[in-house]
Amino acid sequence: MVRKISDIRQLKPEPEIKIGRNDECWCGSGKKYKKCHCDFDARLDEYRMKGMLVPPRRILKNPAQIQGIRESAKINIEILDYIGEHIGAGVTTQEIDDRVREITKKWGATAAPLNYEGFPKSVCTSVNDVVCHGIPSAEQVLKEGDIINVDASTIYNGYFSDSSRMYCIGEVSADKKRLVEITKQSLEVGLKYVQPWRKIGDMGAAIHEFAMENGYTVVREIGGHGVGLEFHEDPWVSYVCPKDTGMLLVPGMMFTIEPMINMGGEEIYISDEDGWTVYTQDGMPSAQWEIQVLVTEDGYEIISY
C-alpha cells in the first residue's frame, strides 16, 4: 500500500482502557482478564513506557478470528494456483481479471480490490517495469519473456487475505529470472526475523540488506500492511528501514511481507493517466512476492502465500 501521512505520524502511545482482573478479557476469548491478556498487557505497558511503538488492541487477532482469516486465505491461495494453471503467452491481463472474478465468486468470496478507493478491477496485474497496482486490460497481451505479478486480495465471511506471486511467461532472460528468484528468497530472509517481542524493522532491514547484496534496490514509498480484519490495518511495513525500529511484534499480529525489488534504481512514479499504475522511473524490471504472516508465541505462521 502507498504510504500516507497517517502512516508516517508517530502513533501517540496511549494506554488502552484498563480492565478489572476478574472481568472478561478484551480479546474476545471469554476468559477472565487475569487468566488471559493481563500479564501480556503489563508487558506492553512497560515497552510503551520506554517510548516503543506497541500494537493497539484492535489489530491483535484472537483464535476464532485467525481461523476465519485462514479460511479466507485458503481461497486466496486457490485463486493464485488457478491463475498459475492458465497464465501464458497470448493471455490478456483482462482474462486474468475475469478468471479471478469467476473463481472468487465460485468460492463465495469477494475480491477486495474491486472498487477499493476506485480501483476498477478485481486483481492487480503488474508486468515487467510495473512495480505494482497494474490494472488489467484487454489490450495488454502477455508475451514470451514477460514477468508478471498477480496480486489477489480476498474477503471471505468478512475476513481478509492478501498475497501475490510472480509468473514467468515462457522463457525469460536470466536477468529477469534472477530478479524474480532473489525477490522470492528475500521473503525467507525476512521471515527469520518475525518473532514476538522483536521490532518489525529488523525484518525490513534484513530484506533491504539482502536485496542490496544482490545488486538490487527496494521501493521505499510502497510497503506492506497489517491485514485480516480489514484490508489495510496498522502497522505500515517498510522493507528499507533501519534495524531496531518500528512496531513491536507480539502474538496475534498479522501483516504482509511484500517487498518490491527493482533491477535498476529505486525511484518510481504513479501513472498520471490512471492514477494507479506504479512504474519504475528507469523502465527497468521490478518484482514482488507477497505473503501474509501471523506472529505466534514462538515465531510465525504463514497464512497466505
Tell me which residues touch ligand MF3 (CB under 6 A).
1, 113, 116, 119, 124, 133, 151, 153, 162
Backbone torsions φ then ψ of 136, nearest 5 degrees: -55, 145
Amino acid, res. 132: C
- Site for Co ion contains 162 (CB under 5 A): yes
**Helix/strand/coil for 249:** coil
- Contact of residue 113 among Co ion, ligand MF3, none (CB under 5-8 Å per partner type): ligand MF3
Candidates 60-68, 109-117, 189-197, 252-260; binding stretch for Co ion (CB under 5 A): 252-260
Minimal distance in Å, beta carbon 194 to Co ion? 16
Cα–Cα distances in Å, from 115 out to 91, 122, 133? Answer: 24, 8, 13
- Helix residue ranges, H only, the chain: 5-8, 38-49, 63-86, 93-106, 174-191, 201-213
In Å, what is the CA distance from 49 to each residue of 45, 46, 53, 196?
A: 6, 5, 10, 18
- For residue 46, what is the enclosing H or E element? helix 38-49
Task: Tell me: does residue 256 bind Co ion (CB under 5 A).
Answer: yes
Residue 146 interface partner, choices ligand MF3, Co ion, none, CB cut-off 5-8 Å depending on type: none
Map residue 31 onto helix, strand or coil: coil
Q: Which is nearer to Co ion, 189 or 260 (CB)?
A: 260
Give the residue with the Cβ less far from ligand MF3, 46 or 81: 81
Q: 113 or 252, CB closer to ligand MF3?
A: 113
CA 129 to chain centre: 20
Does 234 contact Co ion by CB under 5 A?
no
Instruction: Determine contact, residues 149/166, Cβ cutoff 8 Å.
Output: yes
- Rounded to the nearest whole angstrom, what is the least distance from the CB of residue 153 to ligand MF3 in the complex? 5
From the CB of 126, what's the least distance to Co ion, in Å?
12
Task: State the binding partner of 116 from Co ion, ligand MF3, none, CB within 5 to 8 A by kind.
Answer: ligand MF3
Which three cell numbers, joined as nine digits, stand for 199?
521490532
**Three-class secondary structure of residue 90 per DSSP:** coil
What's the closest the beta carbon of residue 292 comes to Co ion, in angstroms? Answer: 8
Out of ligand MF3, Co ion, none, what residue 197 binds, judged by CB under 5 to 8 A for its kind, is none
Residues at the site binding Co ion, with contacts judged by CB under 5 A: 162, 256
